[in-house]
Chains A and B, each alone.
Chain A
Amino acid sequence: MAHDEGASRRTFLKTAGTAAAAASVAGCTGGGGTQETTTTGGTTTETDTQTETSEEGDLPDEFAVTITQGQMPTTLDPQNHRSTPTDNVVLHAYEGLLGRDQQGKIVQKLATNYERQEPGRVRFQIREGVTFHNGDQLTPEDVAFSINRIVDESVSIASPQADQLAGVTGAEVVDGQRAVDVMSDGANPIVFSLFATYCDVMQQSWVEERSKSEIAQQMNGTGPFVLEQFQSNVRVEFSRNEDYWRQPPAVTSLTFRAAEESSTRVNQLLEGESDIIVNVPPQSIGRVRNNGSTRISAAPSTRILYNAMKYNVEPFSSVEFRRAMNLAVNLESIIENVLSGFADPTNQPTLEGFFGFNSDVSQYPHDPAQAEQLVEESGHAGVSITLHTPVGRYLKDVEIAQAVANQIDQLSNVSCSVRQREFATLAGELTDGNLETSPDFYLIGWGNATFDASQTIIPLLTCDGALTSYCNEQVDQQMNQAQSQTDEQQRDQTLQQVNQTLHDQAPWIFLNRQYSVYGVRNRVEWQARRDERIDAYAMEPAESQ
């Protein structure tokens, strides 16, 4: 697996996994730039929770950067969307209590300290000396309001992000302290992990004085960039926030644009019209690499692609048949030939580097002979199956589905075809709460930015999961157990057991981990992140520029 930038992938993933683990612990405290000591289950780990800062030094007078994504942001309201391109824009002006650094480790943002008071209650100390772009000071009331605006529809809006703060029921300011308590249903062992990824802080009075439409077109955060101009569906322009509570960014002006066509984005990059572009398709990687002034920067993302097989419908009700499907697929070949090597194989629902990942689980080998034998044992020899796939939703989704179907079809005792579906229709069938209306066999992707196994397994592979295709009482029991465990090691073990069970039960054909592949002009120092965020705060002019 070659990609242009990055250290050892395994080391990197290990670090990220540790970070995720640290995020999931029962209690942790941190102080700006201090060593944080975490005690769980009798073990003590030290996690560096330094506030993320750019290197001290002279800031450039002029360093303009243009980023081209596939889509423009749907809104500038950071709490009223569920789209990565929107996040990438709004997170330059808005910030959360916690965040993640380049390596995926948890860092403090607007919180200087965070700890569990008791099961179902955690406390965040709120940073002092932070101002919103309009000059007003950040207060604990703003933080509590922001959390409540997400989880409680009566506050302002029915936020589509309510589920991202899973289990959180509300927040309140602590009397006499510059702190906010966040309440949850149950122990909520992953609450810090959730806050490291989600919940951007807005100013209460600013929100209350504006209509929904105005909030969708204006910005007033605490982040490193200030909104200069927003032309819906055309461009978003930011300038450097000179009053930022950290060192101001090196980038003086930041422009976001969009081009749906990947070839258009590549041409913009090659011609110097854009500095960073997203989703360089495999066929264009050579052009970007060989151009002389551009490069590829890639990172494994938090998105897994899989083929779900509905557990209660023949032939997929047979575990032998499901395993046979995994053995029939030559995943290495798909990664090499369809995705040009920019993907990793998977063997369980949890991605490497995530909390709960089981490194002892083996890969299903490509073994058509054994697959045919298992099909015979399952009693479903001669069956015809249809793989439903969305078109254009994920990188090379149709091509991957066609490759999978062709490989299954090559078995002497199974026929397989592909049915291409519009994503809206397919998603509607999967999310209507009725398993009967879902296709029996479909390709879909799932992104999980919390780095915690539970946020993939619960929705997708438990009996009551919103998007489930599988039901197994043992798995449900173990997941309930994991969600009530506040001991990090015990919880990790439980999740690893679940992953082993799910590998053996093969509810999915385990496909690939998607990569985020960016084209970058050499004038910009920047490395791809695995959470699909494009963080302009981390950008600097290249030394040669």
Chain B
Amino acid sequence: MAMGRFLLKRSVQGVFVVWGVVTAVFALRYVTPGNPITFVAPLDAGPELREQIARELGLNRPFYVQYFDYIFSLLQGDMGYSYIQGVEASKLIFARLPATVELAVAASVVAVVLSIPLGVISATRRHEPADYAATSFSLIGISTPNFWLGIMLVLVLSVQFGLFPTSRRGIGLAPAIGMLVTQLDFSGLVTWLSHMILPAVTLGTYFTALITRLTRSGMLDELGKPYVRASRAKGLPETLVRYKHALRNTLIPVITVLGLQLGTLIGGAVITEAVFAWPGLGTLLINAINSRDWPLIQGSLIVIGTGFVLINIFVDALYAYINPQVVH
């Protein structure tokens, strides 16, 4: 019951956050230099043509009229039309969303699968070669710019050895699974994986390093606490002490970071998307900002904001599950 109230409260807060984002972005129109007509009209367009285009896009109406009109449309699921592309903004955004979510989740999976074992090994074998190797890896991972790493991976593994495609998405995960289920055809999944590995590793390396360090320091902290000593004194097996008690407590900050990271990635891994020509939300948003395509900017930010809110609610729920005191 308390848990339900807690999540409902978080959801209501989330709605206000998204509304705040929409309002702030709308206000930004009036303080940001640059006019969308610059991109819709030719550079040498005369004032008449500019006025025509402004009328067509509804930009000649007062701010408050545009704002309330947009909010009203949004409540009906209408994000408006892209100024530049003349297509429903929602259509463009949701066409990009699967690619972004796939990449974000894949990068997070890479991070979790590698970092938590590395962090635990590093902490439990402190000052041993395994620890030095793990800390060296995490230092390199945190220090490596991902645009450089991406380009190097492509040059070595794709161009030099031809192991992976150089770029692009190839196929979506849903159609790939569809091929597998309906035709028992693995080729779609293989294509999806071959296109996904390099961008996921590029994007996931920094987070792998970050979470490795976080897990290591968390584990070291937990292993030094009195309850661990007490558990050992009671004769509990070491594996149980480490992985049931210490690791569980260590995971609380790790989950927070993972949640925030996933939210950030859904916001768009712009650099990685550019290096791999990945058709994600990040590049869509950057292009929209560069061309002042406000319906697309607003729509993208609403989706990203909503994604953040949902992930935060999920993380809060996990928190509450791991540590019920949070609810109170």
B interface size (C-beta, 8 A): 51
Whether a CB of chain A sits under 8 angstroms from the CB of B236 is no
Known A-B contacts A164-B42, A233-B95; the reply to A271 vs B159 at CB < 8 A is yes
Whether a CB of chain A sits under 8 angstroms from the CB of B14 is no
Whether a CB of chain B sits under 8 angstroms from the CB of A177 is no
Whether a CB of chain A sits under 8 angstroms from the CB of B85 is yes
B41 touches A263 (CB 8 A): no
The interface size bin for chain A is 35 or more
Stretch at the interface among B30-38, B66-74, B109-117, B226-234: B30-38
Whether a CB of chain B sits under 8 angstroms from the CB of A82 is yes
Chain A residues 207-221 with CB under 8 Å of chain B are 212-213, 215-217
| Cβ-neighbour of B38 out of A161, A233, A427, A446 (below 8 A) | A427
Chain B residues 184-220 with CB under 8 Å of chain A are none
Nearest-CB distance from B219 to chain A (Å)? 39
A264 touches B158 (CB 8 A): no
Whether a CB of chain A sits under 8 angstroms from the CB of B255 is no
Nearest-CB distance from B86 to chain A (Å)? 4
Between-chain CB contacts (< 8 Å), 19 pairs: A75-B86, A77-B86, A82-B42, A162-B45, A217-B87, A261-B277, A264-B275, A268-B277, A273-B165, A424-B34, A424-B38, A424-B39, A428-B33, A428-B38, A432-B35, A459-B43, A460-B44, A466-B43, A466-B46
Whether a CB of chain A sits under 8 angstroms from the CB of B102 is no
B38 touches A267 (CB 8 A): no
Chain A residues whose C-beta falls within 8 Å of the C-beta of B292 in the assembled complex:
424
- Identify the A interface with B (CB < 8 A): 71, 74-75, 77, 80-82, 153, 157-158, 160-164, 212-213, 215-217, 231-234, 257-261, 263-264, 267-268, 270-271, 273, 422-425, 427-428, 430-433, 446, 459-460, 465-467
Chain A residues whose C-beta falls within 8 Å of the C-beta of B52 in the assembled complex:
153, 158, 162
Closest B residue, CB atoms, query A81: B84
Chain B residues 53-102 with CB under 8 Å of chain A are 53, 55-56, 81, 84-88, 91-92, 95-96
Whether a CB of chain A sits under 8 angstroms from the CB of B291 is yes
CA–CA, A257 and B278, complex, Å? 11
| Cβ-neighbour of A264 out of B35, B44, B53, B167 (below 8 A) | B167
Closest B residue, CB atoms, query A161: B42
| Cβ-neighbour of B49 out of A162, A233, A259 (below 8 A) | A162
| Cβ-neighbour of A233 out of B46, B53, B92, B158 (below 8 A) | B92
Nearest-CB distance from B87 to chain A (Å)? 5
Chain B residues whose C-beta falls within 8 Å of the C-beta of A77 in the assembled complex:
86
Whether a CB of chain A sits under 8 angstroms from the CB of B168 is yes
Whether a CB of chain A sits under 8 angstroms from the CB of B284 is yes
A264 touches B277 (CB 8 A): yes
A431 touches B277 (CB 8 A): no
B166 touches A267 (CB 8 A): yes
Known A-B contacts A232-B95, A271-B159; the reply to A257 vs B49 at CB < 8 A is no
B167 touches A80 (CB 8 A): no
CA–CA, A176 and B106, complex, Å? 66
Chain B residues 221-267 with CB under 8 Å of chain A are none
Whether a CB of chain A sits under 8 angstroms from the CB of B40 is yes
Chain B residues 113-156 with CB under 8 Å of chain A are 151, 154-155
Whether a CB of chain A sits under 8 angstroms from the CB of B290 is yes
- Identify the B interface with A (CB < 8 A): 33-35, 38-47, 49-50, 52-53, 55-56, 81, 84-88, 91-92, 95-96, 151, 154-155, 158-159, 162, 165-169, 274-277, 279, 283-284, 287, 290-292
B81 touches A233 (CB 8 A): no
A271 touches B165 (CB 8 A): yes
| Cβ-neighbour of A163 out of B45, B56, B95 (below 8 A) | B45
Please name the 7 residue pairs, one residue from A and one from B, whose CB atoms are nearest each other, closest first. Answer: A424-B34, A259-B277, A459-B44, A158-B52, A267-B166, A466-B44, A216-B86
Known A-B contacts A160-B49, A260-B277, A431-B38; the reply to A268 vs B167 at CB < 8 A is yes
B277 touches A233 (CB 8 A): no
B43 touches A430 (CB 8 A): yes
Closest A residue, CB atoms, query B82: A74
Known A-B contacts A232-B91, A427-B38; the reply to A160 vs B45 at CB < 8 A is yes
Closest A residue, CB atoms, query B54: A158
A232 touches B92 (CB 8 A): yes
B42 touches A160 (CB 8 A): yes
CA–CA, A277 and B52, complex, Å? 36
Chain A residues whose C-beta falls within 8 Å of the C-beta of B151 in the assembled complex:
263
A213 touches B88 (CB 8 A): yes
| Cβ-neighbour of B168 out of A216, A217, A273 (below 8 A) | A273
Chain B residues whose C-beta falls within 8 Å of the C-beta of A80 in the assembled complex:
86
Chain A residues whose C-beta falls within 8 Å of the C-beta of B290 in the assembled complex:
422-424
A264 touches B274 (CB 8 A): yes
A264 touches B276 (CB 8 A): yes
Known A-B contacts A232-B92, A466-B43; the reply to A212 vs B277 at CB < 8 A is no
B159 touches A270 (CB 8 A): yes
CA–CA, A231 and B172, complex, Å? 12
A257 touches B168 (CB 8 A): yes
